[in-house]
Structure 1
Amino acid sequence: MESEFDPGDDRESAPAPVGDPDGTAGGGYRGPVRFSVLGPVEVWLGERDCTPKAPKVLQVLAFLLLRANRTVRTEPLIQELWGEDPPRSALTTIQTYAYQLRRLFVREGLAENGEDMLVTRSHGYALYVEPEQLDVHRFWALRDEGRALMQQNRFAEAAPRLRAALDLWSENPLVNVRLGAHLSAYVVDLQEQRRNTQQFAIEAEMELGLHRELIGELRAMTATHPLDEWFHWQLMMVLDRSGRRSEALHVYRSLRSTLNDELGIDPSREVQELHSRLLS
């Protein structure tokens, strides 16, 4: 099932572009424009950092970027900023933040007209960006390409695309933004998408026989996610296929002990079957 935060078919038709993402055409761009959410929320024009400094303006920008090219209704924006007890001036304040973003876009050379980039709708706002300008859009595109190639058993082509998608991440998403209810949900969803993409990448590279190369990554993932049986299962397999069966058995014993102590359960049937094969 696709995430509700993926840029599905509900994207709106954008107005005429305000410029080319690589800065080669007019429209006010003076170099490649980049928006980042897979780590700190940042805005770059070439090598110049154009990120807004005011915390709530940055919070609004994060919300708009994660719903780029679609209308963000005013009500969830207000709830994101002030929770269930917004001030009476909330709507006016949101309008002020939108005005400040438009001024920033023009001042920093991101657009000739801020209203072409951040458009007012009847019940909210829509921020229009090119897919190449926003890291999460590039992440989704590369991930989807990799998954499609895996379905065709084209693992040598799938693996680099999936790794390229993962390389777009610098740290936890929106790390420099105060998170309300909506952005907190976005972060959880994005982290799950990253984890799933990493699993696809590992599967593709295992199909390519890169078992030794995966040991370090899988050890790190089992340490980070001590209750995740999938990463332990894969680590057991790559250790076995690298001639390190005793270490694979140790991974199983460690997982079983952790699951018993923390949850009172045994490893899954698939993991137990792999353990039995290692013993035979």
Structure 2
Amino acid sequence: MPARLRGRGAPAGGGGLTPTGPPSSLKDPPGYYFSAGLPREITVDIEVLGTPRVIENGVPITAPTPESRHVLAVLAACPDRVVPASVLADELARRVPPEHAHAALHTAVRRLRERFAQALGAGSVRTPEAVLATRPGGYLLDTAGGRCDVRDFEREAGAGYRAMERGDHEQAAARLRRALDLWTGPALDGIDAGTWLRRRIACLDADRVSVLGQWAEAELALGRHRELRLALAVLRGSGTGRPGGAYLAALRRAEARVDAAGRARPAPGPSLTGAARR
């Protein structure tokens, strides 16, 4: 999906070529393109609810080595947050001898910054060192407010939970289903995760299972048993769950719940036509 380029207005009385300044939440200045006198901020979009993707300025970042791909995946799992260098080195220790892990980390960061520099292109004042930023004790992937599918998932799920609490099952079902539809596969699919990343994936999987259960309850409360059974079958056949994982088990439990609810429903009474015949 394309990176978002968010327009920013020129300062009053200026010629339109001076950025108004970075948001207070960012420690590094965002990047800008200058077009028709209006600066546009360059953002990073991140997807981890499936095969991980990082997109800078509309350009997918392709990591040049397995080590740099792994580092990028770990940083993408926690965007805009400092990931300790020790965590990144421990993750890389699965690929290189432990005594070489920190050196491999520095090399991976340098190569990733080279790819970010290519994506930024000419005319940007945002540097690769601002995108993949060094922080005391670690590194941070600065999205500059770009889209992140995990944040979208959390927003939709939160709205769905709040709708459930106030008894608005229609709204809850819609928002929770939107949250589920953001998943295109197992979280961080294809990454040989170490201990830290496995814990992060487990948290995401647990959130997905919780949303699935609440969505099924909302649909049942609306009496949409048949529609829910069909939707669950589609989700199970979509290939977005990890084989043997908690999500597929939750789908089976939801299907059993629908079947049980269907059996508990009262049988329809005789039709007026049938009564008239008798």
2:141 matched to 1:123? no
2:225 matched to 1:234? no
Asked if the contact 1:159–1:204 (Cα under 8 Å) also holds between the matched residues in 2, the reply is yes
Give the match's secondary structure for 1:70. Answer: coil
Alignment-mate amino acid for residue 66 of structure 2: P
Give the match's secondary structure for 1:225. Answer: helix
Q: Which runs of 4+ in 1 moved over 3 A?
A: 44-49, 83-87, 217-224, 226-231, 238-244
Alignment-mate amino acid for residue 147 of structure 1: Y
Quote the offset at 1:63 in angstroms: 0.9
Of 119, 129, 143, 2:157 maps to 143
Deviations 1:187-207 (A, max 9, x none): 222222111111111111222
Asked if the contact 1:34–1:134 (Cα under 8 Å) also holds between the matched residues in 2, the reply is yes
Give the match's secondary structure for 1:26. Answer: strand
Which residue of structure 2 lines up, in the alignment, with residue 42 of structure 1? Answer: 53
Identity of aligned residues (%): 29
Whole-angstrom CA distance in 2 between matches of 1:87 and 1:224: 35
Report the CA distance shift for 1:82/1:130 in structure 2 as closer, same or farther (over 3 A).
same
Alignment-mate amino acid for residue 161 of structure 1: R
Deviates more, 1:86-95 or 1:40-49: 40-49
Alignment-mate amino acid for residue 37 of structure 1: V
Which residue of structure 2 lines up, in the alignment, with residue 78 of structure 1? Answer: 89
Alignment of 1:12-31 (within 5 A): 13-16=25-28, 18=30, 25-27=39-41, 29=42
Whole-angstrom CA distance in 1 between matches of 2:250 and 2:190: 27
Of 83, 104, 107, 1:96 maps to 107
2:208 matched to 1:180? no
Report the CA distance shift for 1:153/1:49 in structure 2 as closer, same or farther (over 3 A).
same
Deviations 1:54-93 (A, max 9, x none): 2221111111111211111111111111159844332222
Asked if the contact 1:106–1:114 (Cα under 8 Å) also holds between the matched residues in 2, the reply is yes
5+ residue gaps, structure 2, are 1-23, 237-245, 269-278
Whole-angstrom CA distance in 1 between matches of 2:231 and 2:263: 12
Quote the offset at 1:223 in angstroms: 11
Report the CA distance shift for 1:140/1:48 in structure 2 as closer, same or farther (over 3 A).
same
Alignment-mate amino acid for residue 27 of structure 2: P
Question: Which of 1 and 2 has greater Rg?
Answer: 2
TM-score of the superposed pair, with normalisation by structure 2: 0.70
TM-score of the superposed pair, with normalisation by structure 1: 0.69
Give the match's secondary structure for 2:156. Answer: helix
- Bigger share in helix: 1
Report the CA distance shift for 1:215/1:16 in structure 2 as closer, same or farther (over 3 A).
same
Which residue of structure 2 lines up, in the alignment, with residue 154 of structure 1? Answer: 168
Asked if the contact 1:44–1:51 (Cα under 8 Å) also holds between the matched residues in 2, the reply is no
Give the match's secondary structure for 1:44. Answer: strand
Which residue of structure 2 lines up, in the alignment, with residue 206 of structure 1? Answer: 220
5+ residue gaps, structure 1, are 1-11, 245-280
